[in-house]
Amino acid sequence: MPELAPVLDQIDRSVDESLERLFGLLAIPSISTDPVYAAECRRAAEWLVADLQSIGFTANVRETGGHPMVVAHHEGEGPHVLFYGHYDVQPVDPLALWENDPFAPAVKEIEPGRKVITGRGTSDDKGQLMTFVEACRAYKKVHGKLPCRVTILFEGEEESGSPSLKPFLEANANELKADLALVCDTTMWDRETPAICVGLRGLVGEEVTVKAADRDLHSGFYGGLAANPIRILSRVLADLHDENGRVTIPGFYNGVEDTPPEVLASWKTLERESESLLEAVGLSEPAGEKGRLGLELVWARPTAEFNGITGGYTGEGFKTVIPAEASAKVSFRLVHRQDPQAIRDSFREFVRQRIPADCSVEFTPHGGSPAIQLPYDSPLVATAQCALTEEWQKPAVAIAMGGSIPIVGDFQHLLGMPSLLVGFGLLDDRIHSPNEKYELISFHKGQRSWARILAALASERVEKPD
C-alpha cells in the first residue's frame, strides 16, 4: 500500500503547476453542440491523451460517430475503478455577459481568502475531472504507482445528449467494466461540507390529451351541455394528489423505501438550507407530501409534477369557446425500486377511468428510467464518507439528486457496476451560464479527496456487484 501522507504533500506543493495544466485544457473551446468547434473537441481529447500518457497511462483517442472518447488504462493492485468525466463544455452565449473571456481562464479573489477559477468548463466538468488526474499524477510522482487499477473514460458529448455513449459502452464492455465507477460531475452540499450522491431519481414522462367534441364549440350554445376537456383534464390532474400531497395512483408507492432514521437525522441538520432553497425562488412552504422534510421530498420521495398544460383560447382577451381538446405534460420522479413501466401503465388506467364515455384520451410517452440508489449502509458509501470527512474536517453527507444522470444508469445496466458520485462543484457555480467558476479550494481539496478515496478503496474490500 503506497503511503498517503507524502501524496497529499505532493499535491499541496504542486497546486500552481496543476492550475497551469488545467488552464491549458480550459483554453480549448470544446463546445460539443456546435459543429464549428468539432476540431477543438478533438484537440481537447488529444490534450487529455497526451497528459495521461505523461503520467504513465496507456491512453488513446477513440473514434465514435460524433466527438471522440478518451480511454486510458493504468495497472494497480487494489480494486479496479472506472473514472468518468467529460471534456466538452456548454456554449458561451450570451458572450456579452461574461466578465472575462470564457476561454482565457483566470484566478480571481472574490472575497478575502476566497479564490475561484473563472471560465467555461471550470466546474462542468474540466476542473472536476482534473482533480482525479492530478491525484493520480501525485501518486505516480511519489510512489511510481497507483493504489488501484484505474481505467479512465472521458466523453466529448455530455452537453449534447451523449448520443455515442451507450453504443460505445456496449461495444467496449469488457474493456471498461470495473468493480466500481467513480463519477465526478456533482456538487458538495456547501463550500465546507463534502457530499456523496447516493440516489438519483428516475423519470417517467407522459403527455395526456383529452378529446371531447370533434370541433371547438361556442360556450353560449353548448355550455352546460357539451363535455369540456379542460374540465375533465383538471379533474384528472387534481385527483392525482390526495389532501396530504400523496400521489393517489394505485400501486404508485410500490418499491419506495423508508429513509433510515439516521439518514433523516443527518438531513434534518441541513434542513435550514432547503428552506433557503425555497426562499431563493420566492417560496416558503414545502409543497409535497405533508409531514416530511423538504430534503426528503426531493431526495427520497417520488412525485407527480405537471410540466405543461394547454387547451382552448390562450391569447390576449377572451373567447367563449369550449375547446375540442386539452392536454398536459405530466412527469413522475421515481425513487428506489419503483418500476417506470408499471407506473406508466397505472397512470394511464387512472386517467382512462376518469374520461366520460363519449370522450377519449391519448397518451404520448416521453422517456422512462428507473431511479438509481446506493444503499445508505453500503460499505462503499462508508469508505468514501470517511475519506471525505477526514479531508474536509466536516462530516460528509449522503445526499441524493432530484434529477437524473443517465450515465449512472448505463453503468448499472450495461456494465453491471455501481457508481460512486463525488464532486466538488457548488450550486452557485453558474454551470451552463455566463461567468462559470470553480472554487480554488474545490480544485485543491478535490485532488486530496481523490487521493484519500483511492487509498481507502485500496485498503477496504469493495463490494462486488452480483
Range 302-331, binding a copy of itself (CB under 8 A) = 302-303, 305-314, 317-323, 326, 328-329, 331
Binding flags for a copy of itself, 196-235, as an x/- string (CB under 8 A): -----x-x-x-x----xxxx-xxxxxxxxxxxx-xx-xxx
Site for a copy of itself in 233-262 (CB under 8 A): 233-235, 237-239, 241
Closer of 2 and 286 to a copy of itself (Cβ): 286
Q: For residues 330-359, which are near a copy of itself according to CB under 8 A?
A: 331, 333, 356-359
Chain centroid to CA 7: 30
* Under 8 Å between Cβ of 186 and 131: no
Closest distance between a copy of itself and the C-beta of residue 198, in Å? 16
Q: How far is the CB of 257 from a copy of itself (least distance, A)?
A: 16
Return the range that interacts with a copy of itself (CB under 8 A); candidates 14-22, 54-62, 276-284, 457-465.
276-284
Helix (H) or strand (E) holding 348: helix 340-352
* Closer by beta carbon to a copy of itself, 240 or else 456: 240
If one asks whether residue 97 binds a copy of itself (CB under 8 A), the answer comes out as no
Instruction: Kindly state the smallest distance separating residue 221's Cβ from a copy of itself, in Å.
Output: 5
- Identity of the residue, 48 or 297, whose beta carbon is nearer to a copy of itself in the bound complex: 297
Taking CA atoms, 1 is separated from 75, 121, 220, 455, in Å, by 14, 34, 83, 8
**Among candidates 387, 391, 395, 371, which has minimal Cα distance to 262?**
395
Please, are residues 160 and 90 in contact by the beta-carbon 8 Å criterion?
no
Q: Does 161 bind a copy of itself (CB under 8 A)?
A: no
Considering beta carbons, is residue 50 or 287 the nearer one to a copy of itself? 287
Whole-number Å distance between alpha carbons of 127 and 440 = 10
Q: Which three cell numbers stand for residue 259?
A: 429513509
Instruction: Name the strand (E) or helix (H) holding 114.
Output: strand 114-118
In whole angstroms, how far apart are CA 34 and each of 84, 92, 415?
23, 11, 30
- Phi and psi of 48, rounded to 5°? -65, -40
Question: Binding marks (x or -) toward a copy of itself, 363..382, rule CB under 8 A?
Answer: ---xx---------------
